[in-house]
Chains A and B, each alone.
Chain A
Amino acid sequence: MQRVGVFICWCGTNISSTVNIDEVVAAVKNMPGVVYSKDYQYMCSEVGQNLVKDAIKEHNLTRVVVAACSPRMHESTFRKAAKAAGLNPYLLEIANIREHCSWVHKDKKAATQKAISLTKAAVAKAILNQPLIPGEVGVEQRALVIGGGIAGIQTALDIADAGYEVDLVEKTPSIGGKMAQLDKTFPTLDCSACILTPKMVDASMHDKINIYSYSEVEEVNGFVGNFEVVIKQKARSIDMEKCTGCGICLAKCPAKTALSEFEEGLSKRAAIYTPFPQAVPNVPVIDRETCTKFRTGKCGVCAKVCPTGAIDYEQKDERLNQKYGAIIVTTGYDLINLDSFGEYQYADHPDVITGLEFERLVNAAGPTAGKLVRPSDKKKPKKVVFIQCVGSRDKSERGKSYCSKICCMYTAKHAMLLRDKYPDCEAYVFYIDVRTAGKGFEEFQRRAVENYGVNYIKGMVGKIFPTGDKLKVNGVDALSGEVLEIDADMVVLASATQAKPGASDVGRMLSISTDRDNFFTEAHPKLRPVETHCAGIYLAGACQGPKDIPETVAQASAAAAKAIGILSKSKLVNNPCVSQVDESVCSGCLACTKMCPYEAITEKMVEQKVHGKIRRRRVAEVNAALCQGCGGCTVTCRPGAIDLKGFSNKQILAEVDAICQ
């Protein structure tokens, strides 16, 4: 007969305000097997944990049930306490009476009944718990970083500096990401390239970092410590070993028709191109859709002019299999498409631009060599209107309901840069609210108003009418109620940020979740901000939510620290709650092998004595290292031969029985 101890937590008022603790304690006393029960305000505190430890010893408890918060929160805490008191940690069971009960109910009477039922189920299950001993698996001491923006570069550098190999996979021909496109960075106005490009070079020179540019992750299998990844290296049409980055091919290519992605479409690029002169690696790619050679078979100018014979039209996509201990996702963000915001004329008028286009227009390396002129007639603007919240904080189907976070600051920066370059040029900023939370941010924005004379107008723009060579901006000052009409030369839209269009596919490939806006979800918004729910996979940067550079870099280093935590271990303890097959019952149908998402089940031949004769027959076998304990096989198994340790069919039925009694 098992001796069960039940510990009921109040969780301050989180549980006790909705669940009558005294009633639960009284009910627990009558449950079969229970020899001891105790309630306490904060069971997870040191005092609370000691209550558990002491009771195990004093009352010779053989099973423990803690009725408290979700096992996601404190199961490991209480298991450690049980282990410290000499009990196998897997003999402890959690009844979730917070998330599953007090937090979701208002009716105290019904909630108390539910708490009693949940505890009763946990007691019934605990009685059938078996001691489990976790096994160990090796760790591949190599990390994969997906996305080569500032987040990916920082993470890769931090992990590599700790002494581990890192593979940095970047989809485009060069690392650098969005930050490489920026001109100055708030709140200190230091030049983006000056602080980013040295990091890009550091990453490329680091002997522990391998950059796979123009590559994509195609497949991810395995689990923490042992991920198996397929990387597709897209055909660059250039031999990276031979290319010296001299740039003759770029100059000689006759097909200069494609819009430059890096310049936000403000200038054209050749079919053979490097995104920007400081690209890392400084090796061009051939855009096969624009290249005359690939389209018509004629041309081949680049191959003729290349002094090292690096051009290779026959190159094919290559696939690379690699094992990793940890994965960091740093895939970044995009701006929304403004086609549905017809009132701003973005698609119809060249002088209505996005904030990112403005960055290129003021950048010394940009399409105008830093001369800020209107894209339409290359004239200097006299009046520029900035519009914030274009699609951000927008509940309609055109926009995004969240705040894009970076626009208030970069708009203030743009207006200052403009007034700095052209003191006679007027700047107007239409805003709904100015949000400048961050160190030195408020001071920065106030400088725009107080020192740079930028006109901030609380209100929005209704419509822009292109009139002659001007843009008539119809807006409102919501505070005074004045309806305004501004004859602007240029309009800059702070368009909303959004998750990368492929984010949900990446999420599915990695088995990590995305929120309703397709940003990746962290394991806990406050306490586990860089982890995902999938062990060994971490997040950094704007793929997790809109973020500025300081925050992105901080998160990147945090993710690196988490990854190093995994890589620095030679062995990882694995979850002992894995499936096991009862070979005498297994019919060998192998339905489980098809169901298993982790390919953890295989067939094996066994010799069995059937009716006095030795016969060889086929049965299923679980690889404990691969099994993630999802339980899919146990419900697929027709003869009921598979049990999940810690969650056996018997235990689950005991729980159901306890609730239904």
Chain B
Amino acid sequence: MVSREKITPDMAKKEVVRICEISDENIVDCMQCGKCTAGCPAVHGMDILPHQVIRLLQLGQIDQLLQSEAIWSCAACFTCASRCPRAVDISKIMEALRLTLVRVKGNNRLDIEKVPKLLDKNIPQQAIVSGFRKYVK
């Protein structure tokens, strides 16, 4: 028996609206051309592709996104944002998705105390700073 889960596309869902507010991006502008995915240098670590991230938001399927690896794989390099023909900055949406998780108390992606052990001489300072920005409240 093939069972079918009932999904009602809902862009007005509170969580989706919140993501749009934090990122200040308009997800209805996206036409699903996939240019973000085509140019993304981090795409191989993503279980959900960048253009699919927007599609799931358009459908209101936010839980899948919050459980995904994709939002953590995003390097915030802005390649997608600079090429998007619809002027949607997905890197900001990725950031908004990460923020909704790390802002919850005790939900830091990175355990600060373990950081010194992860470091070696070759890690650039910039990486440490952006790592904290991305993974820690």
Contacts and interface: CB of A to CB of B under 8 A. Distances in A.
Interface of A: 343, 389, 391, 393-399, 432-433, 458-463, 474-478, 481, 483-484
B38 A460 contact: yes
A481 B85 contact: no
A396 B34 contact: no
B39 A474 contact: yes
Contacts of A460: 33-35, 38, 85
Q: Which 3 A-B pairs have the closest CB atoms?
A: A462-B39, A462-B38, A478-B34
21 contacts: A343-B39, A389-B33, A394-B86, A395-B87, A396-B86, A432-B31, A459-B33, A459-B34, A460-B34, A461-B38, A462-B35, A462-B36, A462-B38, A463-B39, A474-B39, A476-B35, A476-B38, A476-B49, A476-B51, A478-B32, A478-B34
Nearest to B51: A478
B29 interface: yes
Contacts of B37: 459, 462, 476, 478, 481, 483
A396 B36 CA distance: 14
Contacts of B38: 459-463, 474-476, 483-484
Contacts of A475: 34, 38
A213 to B, nearest CB: 38
B100 interface: no
B56 interface: no
A419 B33 CA distance: 26
B85 A389 contact: yes
Given A463-B39, A474-B39, A476-B49, A394 B85 contact: yes
B83 interface: yes
B108 interface: no
B75 interface: no
Contacts of B43: 483
B83 to A, nearest CB: 6
Instruction: Classify the interface of chain B: helix, strand, loop or mixed.
Output: helix
Given A474-B39, A478-B51, A483-B43, A393 B34 contact: no
A476 B86 contact: no
Given A432-B31, A460-B33, A476-B38, A395 B83 contact: no
Contacts of A396: 84-87
Interface residues of B, number: 22
Interface in B28-81: 29, 31-40, 43-44, 49, 51-52, 79
B49 A481 contact: yes
Contacts of A432: 31-33
A575 to B, nearest CB: 45
A393 B49 contact: no
Interface in B3-41: 29, 31-40
A8 to B, nearest CB: 40
Contacts of B85: 389, 391, 393-396, 398-399, 460
A483 B34 CA distance: 10
B34 A476 contact: yes
A481 to B, nearest CB: 5
Contact of A461 (B29, B35, B51): B35
Contacts of B87: 395-397
B40 A462 contact: yes
B78 to A, nearest CB: 13
Given A460-B38, A462-B39, 16 more contacts: A389-B85, A393-B85, A394-B85, A396-B84, A459-B33, A460-B34, A461-B35, A462-B40, A463-B39, A474-B39, A476-B51, A477-B34, A478-B33, A478-B51, A481-B49, A483-B43
Contacts of B29: 395
A462 B83 contact: yes
Interface centre among A399, A477, A481, by most B CB within 10 Å?
A481
Contacts of A478: 32-34, 37, 51
A462 B49 CA distance: 13
A355 B32 CA distance: 24
A433 B31 CA distance: 9
B95 to A, nearest CB: 19
B31 to A, nearest CB: 6
B52 A481 contact: yes
B83 A343 contact: yes
A110 to B, nearest CB: 29
Nearest to B43: A483
A432 B85 CA distance: 11
A478 B33 CA distance: 7
Contacts of A481: 37, 49, 52
Given A476-B51, A478-B51, A481-B49, A395 B86 contact: yes
A392 to B, nearest CB: 8
A463 B37 CA distance: 11
Most buried by A among B31, B33, B52, B79: B33
B61 to A, nearest CB: 15
Nearest to B44: A483
A458 B38 CA distance: 12
A80 to B, nearest CB: 46
B64 to A, nearest CB: 14
Nearest to A394: B85
A344 B37 CA distance: 16
A397 B52 CA distance: 24
For B32, B34, B37, B86, the residue with the greatest tally of chain A CB atoms inside 10 Å of its CB is B34
Contacts of A394: 85-86
A40 B52 CA distance: 53
Nearest to A462: B39
Contacts of A477: 34
Nearest to A343: B83
Contacts of B33: 389, 432, 459-460, 478
Contacts of A461: 35, 38
Contacts of B79: 462
Contact of A393 (B31, B32, B52): B31
A72 B39 CA distance: 51
A398 B84 CA distance: 10
Contacts of B44: 483
Contacts of B35: 460-462, 476
A393 to B, nearest CB: 7
B58 to A, nearest CB: 14
Contacts of A395: 29, 85-87
Nearest to B40: A462
Nearest to A391: B85
A40 B34 CA distance: 53
A576 B31 CA distance: 53
A396 B40 CA distance: 18
A469 B33 CA distance: 28
Contacts of A474: 38-39
A301 B16 CA distance: 73
Contacts of B31: 393, 432-433
Contacts of B84: 396
Nearest to A392: B85
B84 to A, nearest CB: 7
Contacts of B34: 458-460, 475-478
